[in-house]
Amino acid sequence: MSLNKKVAFIGAGNMAEALIRGLLATSAVAPSEIVATDIRPERLEFFTKTLGIGAARDNASAANDAEVLVLAVKPQQTSEALASLRPPPAVLFISIAAGVTTSRIERELGGRVRVIRAMPNTPALVGAGATALARGAHATNEDLATAETILGAVGLVVRVDETQMDAVTALSGSGPAYVFLVVEAMIKAGVAQGLTESLAKKLAVQTVYGATKLLMESPDEPQALRRKVTSPGGTTEAALKVMTDRKLVKTFAEAIKAAAHRSKEMSGPD
């Protein structure tokens, strides 16, 4: 799907790069219709030379020419970035700044601006992201569709109510780190049982990839797939018993609850 819109990225970090690469790969937006801004000249040079898009050091001028403006700065830089913008009334804001609410952006821009809040995760860097979208008070269904095209260029996109964003952040936003920690633990355990680190890593990473691919392609639920590999009295049952005895499921629930609570704290009052 082609957007036929001019898109400006405020911030040229890794996530902005992933989104731009996705848009170009899917031909959703032509390079000539994309501009990125950043305070780092070397980053802008990389974007222009490698991706073939436009670049600017001035946020305001980039916003003035845009129909869609993607706010891709760190949360603590949001207010400064918003203060530097004087976008035309018709521009659509898509924010990927974690924890920044749509009402805050609307308030700081001082008007009935159209805002979509997005929570992508780092697998977007390899085109396998999971993103949740929530619209602000003045955004439309068409705006959501535009955001879906942009974020969909790097993976799965779902729509949620903004009140669910803290839970989304805890589950999928922070989720890759949980998987990475599990893989780290598997590698260390394999080494402890006599494998070389390189072999343990190769097996652990492929196992997680394969299990995930099976989850994606099988009609079975996770519980059913788990039961299929767990023979009575076998090795898997022995391993899962230890995890159950150590309350692994409860630990995950408490961890995600803590992440959601922290996300809510970071959002602050509207």
Q: Band the pLDDT of 157: cuts 50, 70, 90.
A: very high
Instruction: Please give the pLDDT value at position 267.
Output: 78
Cα gap 36→72, rounded to integer Å: 10
Quick one: average pLDDT of 2-16?
A: 91
**Helix and strand counts by DSSP (H, E) for the chain:** 12, 8
43, 177 contact by CB (below 8 A):
no
Tokens 């396998």 belong to residue: 128
For residue 215, is pLDDT > 70? yes
Cα gap 183→190, rounded to integer Å: 10
Quick one: average pLDDT of 22-35?
A: 93
* SS3 state of residue 255: helix
CB neighbours of residue 151 within 10 Å:
28
Q: What is the pTM of this model?
A: 0.91
For residue 1, is pLDDT > 80? no
> Over the stretch 54-70, which tens digit does the pLDDT of each residue have?
998 888 888 888 999 99
Type of residue at 21: R
CATH number for the domain formed by residue range(s) 7-165: 3.40.50.720
The encoded tokens of residue 21 equal 């690469």
Instruction: Please give the pLDDT value at position 88.
Output: 66
Element (H, E) at 135: strand 129-135
Type of residue at 77: Q
For residue 97, is pLDDT > 80? yes
Pairing type for strands 129-135 and 114-119 reads antiparallel
Cα gap 206→211, rounded to integer Å: 8
Quick one: average pLDDT of 247-251?
A: 97
153, 19 contact by CB (below 8 A):
yes
Domain spans of the chain, in order of start: 7-165, 175-266
For residue 86, is pLDDT > 80? no
Q: Is the CATH code 2.60.40.10 the one for domain 175-266?
A: no
